[in-house]
Structure 1
Amino acid sequence: MTHRYLLPLAALLLAGTARAQQLGPLTVEKIMRDPAQWLGTSPSNISWAEDGKNLYFSWNPEKARRDSLYRIAPGGGAARKVSLREQPGLPAAEGEYDRHHARKLYEKGGDIYLLDLKTQRIRRVTNTAEQETDPHFALQDQAISYARGGNLFTWDPATGETTQRTDFRKGNRPATGEPTDKGEKFLKAQQLALFEVLRGKDQDARARQQQQKALARLRPKAIWLGTQTVRNLRLAPDGRYVTYTLAQEPSAEKVALVPNFVTVSGFTEDINTRTKVGAAQTAYQLGLYDVGRDTTFVLGYKELQGLDEQPAYRKEYQLKAQAPAPADSAKAAKTAKTTKPANEQRRVVPFGPFWSPDGQHAFLVIRSTDNKDRWIVGLDPATQKITLLDRQHDDAWINGPGIGYDEGNVGWLPDSRHLWFQSEATGYSHLYTYDISSGQKKALTSGPFEVQKTQLSQDGKMWYLLANKTHPGEQHLYRMPVAGGALTQLTTQAGGYDEATLSPDEKTWALRYSTSNTPWELYTMDNKPGAKLRRLTHSTTPEFESYAWRQPEVIEYKARDGAGVYARLYRPANPQAQGPAVVFVHGAGYLQNAHKWWSSYFREYMFHNLLVDKGYTVLDIDYRGSAGYGRDVRTGIYRYMGGKDLTDQVDGAKLLTDKYGVSPQRIGIYGGSYGGFITLMAMFTQPDVFQAGAALRSVTDWAHYNHGYTDNILNEPYNDSLAYARSSPINYAAGLKGHLLMCHGMVDTNVHFQDIVRLSQRLIELKKENWELAVYPVENHGFVEPSSWTDEYRRILKLFEENLKPAGAATGSTGGQ
């Protein structure tokens, strides 16, 4: 079926002038150019106008240095650029609606605004030089709360009156001036007894104090923070309580510095980056201010089920049963130990509270700082008591779609009786409700797939879900009754659906849609099953479209332990017998790339097309640790990065030789970040499988990476040294046999340049010769400059051409062809 697309005028003019441009044969120089200049820029950041008459989105059809804001009618037509003059008068896309969906509250430019959705009238709640943030409807929608300067304020729309609700102050409470020492008390009493003038002054001082106390009763209690900071201020619906999060930053921890050599000033400038894994972390407490009793409390957690349970991995150390370790790291493994006592209670981080629509109930999400437990608890602010509603425990770590590392997707249903959340209790992230009256937990979805996004309809009667129910690499939108039941599929076309957002009347979807060989574009569709997509934008250029970009085959193969592994396969039309192959390893650790939509690795995707043109077979694997496949795949790298995630690559290489006719002596591997780490592990520990490898911006020693990511997977280095010893490539460098290219940005604030320098010194001391290091003086972790991308991928292509093809068969080894 064909569709008639109404394209924006700017895009039509652009297409007309560029019609003669042809991409021709792929080269590194061509595909690594600035994407905005030749590929095109996809629309993003979609939002609806509150009256539903327009869609707003970021776009760049003009090939400018940055995206601009555009507006288009949901039915199609020409997109119009929104001028900088118009933008301040537009409501913010993000905000909070009241219970009747009649008003929208939002922050913009550090001030608070209130929008009447019926009249479209905007009221400015604040207009100050100080920044106001975090607005919420309060006191059963009768007031508006916001934070300013670390304190909570409310504003009454009816009277315009602003009330300060908290008085947090930095530092410690000042001394009262009254003597505390016995000797001092005696001397004061003696002075007052002897001198009438002093007695009069003392009486005046006491009178002033009483007057100040009387006035203070009209103001919130002064709460002294000491060295703590306060955030997440919330007013209870009845105004009786204010909850807040207290954060205690650790004492000065050593922070890694990254020197920046190429600067405008001409001087080397140090960049403060981060601490390393195992450094002390911020400690959090939930504070509660009882307004009526003018008293503050700090919530305790000692009654939480499992709070004193120690992680399962420590039993390994207690039994002194150690897993195999590499020869040159045996000493580190032999000294492996745990330092925490077995009965120590773990620290936690509180999130919330989340109040029911009727204001009668509240719950918290509490997570252990080792990320192995998440509790959902009811909160009674009057007694400061918590009641366990749900506990999710994972011996590895808690995460997954809709769960994340914070409170995750949680909320209340309109009946104020059911709260909802997502959990991986079954091994896949699904949607649950909990009845606070009966104590019953109910799974609304189930099966071997993930619920990736959730949205509740305005009337609270329907769920809208994004899930990969039909295939792990294919997404669709679904609807489902609020109490659960059959999932009704709304979308039909295979591919990916992103930023899906409903119109204010909930009759129309706006979304981004793409396939594996066509980039994201803006579409609308009716909110009903089987509705057709209506394309609103055309972003790609004729030059990009002149090449027949391949749609890779998404395949599944069995790993050595029987697990199913998904991958993208690119094959030449007429593959050479015993030809070369390249295995690509995506980065980010928890990320999916063997899917049916446009990849965030679009440069690598284009490079894979180039490799296929040159006769290579390319395999892009969603190895253990990747997203989209449930808990077991997600945590398959726990305590051993470079274990199953690496053997999945080795098993993929075997598949290439057994099924696709690839020569076992002509397989290369490459990847960036986590993919660079796996490449190093492959080249060091599997030298007979991979003959050449390109490791880009690689982690070389996990003990030098950050805490937030690494601690979840490998625990702390001083508690689980074995995990670090067997997971860090620097410990295996002696195994290098093939040809290794390493590329790294010198101002990488994520994986520091120090990482690759340390590994280089190790290779020098090991007297290895078949390696090289290319450095990029102006690049951070994600490269930006087209010249850097071009240089890097010319080197990668040269590496493969010279080492994976028979002598004399390589073409374009300089990267120019």
Structure 2
Amino acid sequence: MLLFFLVLYLMISSAFFCQNLELEKIMKGYDFIGHPPKNVQWSWDNKKIFFEWNPEKELLYSTYFYDLEKKNIQKNPIEESFQLLLNDKKQTNFKHIFFIEKGNLFLFDKKTEKIQVLVQTQSPVNQFFIGEDENVLVYEQNSNLYELNLKHSSIKQITNFLKGNAIEKTTKQNDYLIQQQKELFEFIQKEDKKNHLIEENEEKITLKSPKKMYYGNHEIEQIQTNLKHTFVSFVLSDYPNNDATEIQEMVNEEGYSQSKKARSKVSIHHLSKHQLAIYNRVKDSMYYIDFRFLPHLNDTPSYYSLYKPKEIVSFPSNFSIHPLIFSNKNETALCDLRSLDNKHRWIVLIYLVEGRYEMIEYQYDAAWIGGPGISEWNFDPAVLGFDKEEENVYFQSEETGYSHLYLFNLMNRKKTALTNGNYEVRETLFDKNQNCFYLHLNKSHAGNLDFYQYNLKNNELTKILEKEGAHQVVISPNGRELAFLYSTKNTPWEIYHKNIQANSFEKQITFSKTAEFKEISFTNPILIQIKGKDGVNCPARIYLPSEKNNKKSAVMFVHGAGYLQNAHQYWSSYYREYLFHQMLANEGVTVIDIDYHGSDGYGRDYRTAIYRNMGGKDLDDYIFARKLLIEQYAIDSNKIAIYGGSYGGFLTLMALFKYPGKFVCGAALRSVTDWAHYNLEYTSNILNFPETDPEAYRVSSPIYLSESLKDELLLLHGLIDDNVQYQDVMRLSQRLIEKGKKNWNITTYPIERHGFKEYSSWYDEYNRIYQLFQKYLY
């Protein structure tokens, strides 16, 4: 009964709350709302909180800082932008801080607060490695490592990697002739002895250069060194010559149309090969780690059984290699490897001296390896490392169905779960000084983001920040204070500051909302659960109009990316759409926004529910939600529309094509129409490869179903979209033309990519969508 009155109150009050929302204002985005702060970080001395902000609605964000002593916000001078590069926890206890800016290596003295240029050349410094001695560091330049010693004011090259192959001085035939010349002629014997003496003398008086190591025609990547700088690791990679797609730029400064290279398309022939090499500087020797015998590396994916052998391409046993994590206490390193069929993960401990490895963790997913702290693709870095004493290795796994944090003990070989339950560890940070983990969890609610500490001393999980909404926390270098972004459904992100103790006072630092936006009060969309076809509850947000103004019509919104969460309790990345939905509800249209199967935040089974069938269980959620709208919210079955962008545009097309007559109209923005034309990274996870699983691509691609179109369709796409490319909608358009379809239109935005930038484009796009809805729903 209480819930009934609450819903009734929200419905009655919504007309008053959103009366000032207009499409022109909404599409101005943050110029209307107020630009929220982002990229929060601490100063090296714990005295300032830096962030990017744009309170004056300028063309670009600027850097600001909050002074904790003066308790005020100041704009950071551009000439002091280097301050943002000084927060390196590895150098917290050093007298100075090394940093790279624009390819140059600098030193910041903490005592004098002055900067010294260490390396400034035409060739950029790409990275550096801190050692045991704070006066010595190793940096990478031109794919080689150099050791810089501040005490001796010296720079020494420590690797000599060279592309290509060593040139053989002689052939076998020449060897014979040279030996013959030495035997026959005395002057040649004398010259040979003289040259040997010169070489011997030079070796005695000259520093020995690092050995030349040729790496052929491979690409050399991930050059790293350990704490003592005694071992250097690197990866040799072979990339196929992929055919890159092109986009056509029609409106530009030059006045001529231009073709621009974009990405390649998904294909098994675009997979790369990788080898891990170790250079032992003490022994001056190099070797490769042989991963050919990793367990299950040569397993055939289970879906191969669905095809005859001649119908598909055999799968290569390739794998990706993540950067090594070196031990600081012994000569070992952790390595994370992934099979390129996306189904296997190996975490191994490498013994650097012997060149061997042992298995720590093996993970398998018949769909694809993924989840928070694990990665969205097999080249993405994951949560992995040693604990303080290096007796344990920590990592995340979805073995229980949710991504949780684990420890593997290197002594007793046992694995222990540190967290468990029907929630996810969304982010993990290990603090070696405190010997604890700081975790972002959605423990209190799948739509919240809370902040916890896990103490390894007593194995206790302690709540620090938990309430409705989301916290994105940054810990101060001394580990005593927090700066964090916080938002709710109706309140954009703002920065807060507090002591790390759980019950300490929270101070809001930024106030970003414009005066105009402050005047508008919003109704909170109601969070509901929709039981799907498989019996699993599907989270959704519903925006209800007042009973007096209820048009008995509905709009169903489909968020993009697939693996994304939007029916949550914090500020949406779809903030224009969120305000658009508030406006529609105010005008009498019910709006429902669903975290369909495949969305982020709900565990492994939900994440992989769309495997080999995009437009299957995810679309079923909308069909069941449609039924709910009709039966429980009295929506007219002939007045339900659907729209969305990117993956949302794809699912809109599938809804209209698979279920003609169920939706009166649909608007598909920047839509994938044929998954065989999308990229490798995203698509191969879910649908495997066109050459190995063609049926998955066929059932998941709207272009094959387009002849079923019955209801009005509006296509909207940016011409220079280099993600979901314009070719997608052109191919679909030709298909619709050939099938004689009349009730569809396409609008092209000449200067827009996947994410629109210009207000005029945003307004034109959503005004067309709004007019479509007015035609059928009002």
- TM-score > 0.5 by shorter chain: yes
- Matched to 1:385, the amino acid is R
Structure 2 match to 1:42: 36
* 2:358 matches 1:363: no
- Matched to 2:532, the amino acid is A
Q: 1:382 to 1:211 in 2, by over 3 A?
A: same
Residue number among 102, 122, 138 corresponding to 2:131 in the alignment: 138
- Matched to 2:171, the amino acid is P
Equivalent residue runs for 1:475-624 within 5 Å: 475-482=449-456, 485-498=459-472, 500-574=473-547, 579-624=552-597
Q: Distance in 2 between matches of 1:557 and 1:532?
A: 38
SS of alignment partner, residue 471 of structure 1: coil
* 2:270 matches 1:275: no
Q: Encode CA deviations 1:548-606: one digit per residue, 9 max, x unaligned.
A: 23321121121011011001111112266671100000001211001111100001011
* 2:656 matches 1:683: yes
Worse-matched range after superposition: 125-134 or 668-677: 125-134
How many Å apart are 1:198 and its aligned residue? 4.4
**Is the contact between residue 577 and residue 662 of structure 1 (CA under 8 Å) also seen in structure 2?**
no
Q: Distance in 2 between matches of 1:111 and 1:744?
A: 41
Q: Distance in 1 between matches of 2:279 and 2:650?
A: 48
**Is the contact between residue 490 and residue 531 of structure 1 (CA under 8 Å) also seen in structure 2?**
no
Q: 1:239 to 1:136 in 2, by over 3 A?
A: closer
How many Å apart are 1:688 and its aligned residue? 2.4
**Is the contact between residue 299 and residue 384 of structure 1 (CA under 8 Å) also seen in structure 2?**
yes
- Matched to 1:254, the amino acid is D
Structure 2 match to 1:434: 408
Structure 2 match to 1:378: 349
SS of alignment partner, residue 79 of structure 2: coil
Q: Distance in 2 between matches of 1:296 and 1:602?
A: 53
Q: Distance in 2 between matches of 1:382 and 1:763?
A: 63
Q: 1:557 to 1:486 in 2, by over 3 A?
A: farther
Structure 1 match to 2:274: 284
SS of alignment partner, residue 85 of structure 1: helix
Residue number among 215, 238, 244 corresponding to 2:234 in the alignment: 244
**Is the contact between residue 50 and residue 84 of structure 2 (CA under 8 Å) also seen in structure 1?**
no
- Matched to 1:386, the amino acid is Y
SS of alignment partner, residue 582 of structure 2: helix
Worse-matched range after superposition: 277-286 or 143-152: 277-286
Residue number among 379, 388, 398 corresponding to 2:369 in the alignment: 398
Q: Distance in 2 between matches of 1:642 and 1:208?
A: 75
**Is the contact between residue 110 and residue 130 of structure 1 (CA under 8 Å) also seen in structure 2?**
yes
- Matched to 1:232, the amino acid is Q
- Matched to 2:155, the amino acid is T
Residue number among 684, 690, 695 corresponding to 1:717 in the alignment: 690
How many Å apart are 1:503 and its aligned residue? 1.9
SS of alignment partner, residue 294 of structure 2: coil
Q: Distance in 2 between matches of 1:244 and 1:575?
A: 68
- Matched to 1:364, the amino acid is C
Equivalent residue runs for 1:258-337 within 5 Å: 258-278=247-267, 279-318=269-308, 337=311
How many Å apart are 1:504 and its aligned residue? 2.6
Q: Would you say how many aligned residue pairs link Structure 1 and Structure 2? A: 758
Q: Distance in 2 between matches of 1:99 and 1:49?
A: 11
Structure 2 match to 1:669: 642
**Is the contact between residue 747 and residue 753 of structure 1 (CA under 8 Å) also seen in structure 2?**
yes
- Matched to 2:749, the amino acid is Y
Q: 1:575 to 1:594 in 2, by over 3 A?
A: farther
Worse-matched range after superposition: 57-66 or 123-132: 123-132
How many Å apart are 1:142 and its aligned residue? 6.3
Q: Distance in 2 between matches of 1:215 and 1:397?
A: 58
**Is the contact between residue 139 and residue 239 of structure 1 (CA under 8 Å) also seen in structure 2?**
no
Q: 1:137 to 1:359 in 2, by over 3 A?
A: farther
- Matched to 1:58, the amino acid is E
**Is the contact between residue 125 and residue 141 of structure 2 (CA under 8 Å) also seen in structure 1?**
yes
Q: 1:118 to 1:396 in 2, by over 3 A?
A: farther
How many Å apart are 1:532 and its aligned residue? 3.7
* 2:68 matches 1:69: no
* 2:389 matches 1:415: yes
Q: Distance in 2 between matches of 1:797 and 1:212?
A: 81
SS of alignment partner, residue 465 of structure 2: coil
How many Å apart are 1:140 and its aligned residue? 6.4
**Is the contact between residue 460 and residue 482 of structure 1 (CA under 8 Å) also seen in structure 2?**
no
* 2:46 matches 1:52: yes
How many Å apart are 1:86 and its aligned residue? 2.8
Q: Distance in 2 between matches of 1:650 and 1:575?
A: 27
How many Å apart are 1:108 and its aligned residue? 2.2
- Matched to 2:524, the amino acid is Q
Q: Encode CA deviations 1:329-375: one digit per residue, 9 max, x unaligned.
A: xxxxxxx932216xx6x211122321223234322111111221111
**Is the contact between residue 407 and residue 417 of structure 2 (CA under 8 Å) also seen in structure 1?**
yes
Q: Distance in 2 between matches of 1:608 and 1:81?
A: 35
**When the two structures are superposed, what TM-score results if normalisation uses the length of structure 1?**
0.89
Q: Distance in 2 between matches of 1:24 and 1:403?
A: 44
Q: Distance in 1 between matches of 2:249 and 2:647?
A: 23
Structure 1 match to 2:445: 471
Q: Distance in 2 between matches of 1:51 and 1:217?
A: 41
How many Å apart are 1:253 and its aligned residue? 2.0
**Is the contact between residue 92 and residue 477 of structure 2 (CA under 8 Å) also seen in structure 1?**
no
CA RMSD of aligned residues (A): 2.4
Equivalent residue runs for 1:81-160 within 5 Å: 81-88=75-82, 90-92=83-85, 95-98=88-91, 100=93, 104-115=97-108, 124-139=117-132, 143-160=136-153
Q: Encode CA deviations 1:173-199: one digit per residue, 9 max, x unaligned.
A: 1222x2323xx4444444445544444
- Matched to 1:603, the amino acid is R
How many Å apart are 1:93 and its aligned residue? 5.1
Structure 2 match to 1:29: 24
* 2:184 matches 1:179: no
Q: Distance in 2 between matches of 1:248 and 1:206?
A: 40
* 2:341 matches 1:348: no
SS of alignment partner, residue 678 of structure 1: helix
Q: 1:509 to 1:221 in 2, by over 3 A?
A: same
Q: Encode CA deviations 1:62-116: one digit per residue, 9 max, x unaligned.
A: 111010011112478431111223334x250553514857664432222234456
Q: 1:686 to 1:30 in 2, by over 3 A?
A: same
Q: Distance in 1 between matches of 2:593 and 2:652?
A: 13
How many Å apart are 1:236 and its aligned residue? 2.9
**Is the contact between residue 41 and residue 51 of structure 2 (CA under 8 Å) also seen in structure 1?**
yes
Q: Encode CA deviations 1:487-539: one digit per residue, 9 max, x unaligned.
A: 222124311112x1112332221011111111111111221223342111111
Structure 2 match to 1:234: 224
Q: 1:51 to 1:140 in 2, by over 3 A?
A: closer
Q: Distance in 1 between matches of 2:282 and 2:433?
A: 35
Q: 1:398 to 1:56 in 2, by over 3 A?
A: same
Q: Encode CA deviations 1:367-416: one digit per residue, 9 max, x unaligned.
A: 11122111111101222111001011111111111111333011111111
- Matched to 1:606, the amino acid is L
* 2:600 matches 1:630: no
Aligned-pair identity in percent equals 37
**Is the contact between residue 559 and residue 648 of structure 1 (CA under 8 Å) also seen in structure 2?**
yes
How many Å apart are 1:313 and its aligned residue? 1.2
Q: Encode CA deviations 1:220-262: one digit per residue, 9 max, x unaligned.
A: 2111122112222222334432111112222x22111111011
**Is the contact between residue 245 and residue 262 of structure 2 (CA under 8 Å) also seen in structure 1?**
yes
Equivalent residue runs for 1:144-223 within 5 Å: 144-176=137-169, 178-181=170-173, 184-204=174-194, 218-223=208-213
Worse-matched range after superposition: 440-449 or 195-204: 195-204
Gap runs ≥5 in structure 1: 1-21, 321-335, 806-817
Q: 1:556 to 1:531 in 2, by over 3 A?
A: farther
